[in-house]
Copies of this chain bind each other. A is one copy, B any other.
């Protein structure tokens, strides 16, 4: 039986590239037949990365079957995984997020979670010397995942090890790391094809803060104006998205990768109150700029309160 390697819903570059990397490792090095699958369309950056490194887009699946062999990467959160995930035969987990609890296995499996910026960095370490035999596309995917998750080392989640691995890979591949990152971020910033609801859900995760169910959406971009020009319709759309997704509120942080700041949309008093309590800022209009804020995991979620 082929092992399915999958990341989280709404796949970004790490959740698209890491399954490809690990399925390569399992199939070609460990001798375990495996294939990467996606839980949705890759975002525009991930689509660019696939094309850039000449990688096939993995099949998109909506669920896993009971007993399917599955390796989970880049998440350990059942809410971000297929509905039947706990019926599958989970073989392993490789992740870099906080442990949320909820995944269960029937026997001991391989689990590696590390406080690094990127799943692909952990895979680099697990693969070790065998990486030398990897095709260019696998090393390229690994480099792109790290550039994406670290926002080219700007994000505070970046560790010296993530950076060292990316620089080593770039040298090995003979690519200019800055040029690649710029092209990736430009691809991610092209949001013209997406509806407001799609933008709000694109890179969003659900959290419960002080009894409120929040959908915390982060759009990383080098062209924040493209998003902020749409703020009125985005704020109107938040109401419907929250309702459909069973959330109390959608929070949208527009992260300016180059200026290293986030702009939070403030559609109502709840968000205003939350912004002021969480970030110690004073909100006057319907947006507030949060200097230095780039990481949902490291800066936004730990700060959120009411």
Contact = CB atoms under 8 A, between A and B. Distances in A.
A303 to B, nearest CB: 12
A93 B105 CA distance: 16
Interface string A5-38: 0000000000000000000000000000000000
B101 A108 contact: no
A112 B109 contact: no
A206 to B, nearest CB: 15
Copies of the chain in the assembly: 2
Given A100-B104, A112-B112, 4 more contacts: A96-B108, A98-B104, A98-B108, A99-B105
Interface of A: 90, 93, 95-116, 297-298, 302
A98 B109 contact: yes
Contact of A101 (B104, B112, B302): B104
Q: From DSSP, what is the main secondary structure of chain A's interface residues?
A: loop
A102 B101 contact: yes
A297 B113 contact: no
A96 to B, nearest CB: 5
A187 B57 CA distance: 59
Nearest to A110: B114
Contact of A98 (B95, B105, B112): B105
A125 B95 CA distance: 19
A111 B110 contact: no
18 contacts: A98-B104, A98-B107, A98-B108, A98-B109, A99-B104, A99-B105, A99-B111, A101-B101, A107-B115, A107-B298, A107-B302, A108-B115, A108-B297, A109-B113, A109-B115, A110-B113, A111-B112, A111-B114
Contacts of A109: 98-99, 113, 115
The 7 A-B pairs with the shortest beta carbon distances in the complex, nearest first, are A111-B113, A108-B115, A99-B105, A98-B105, A101-B101, A101-B104, A101-B102
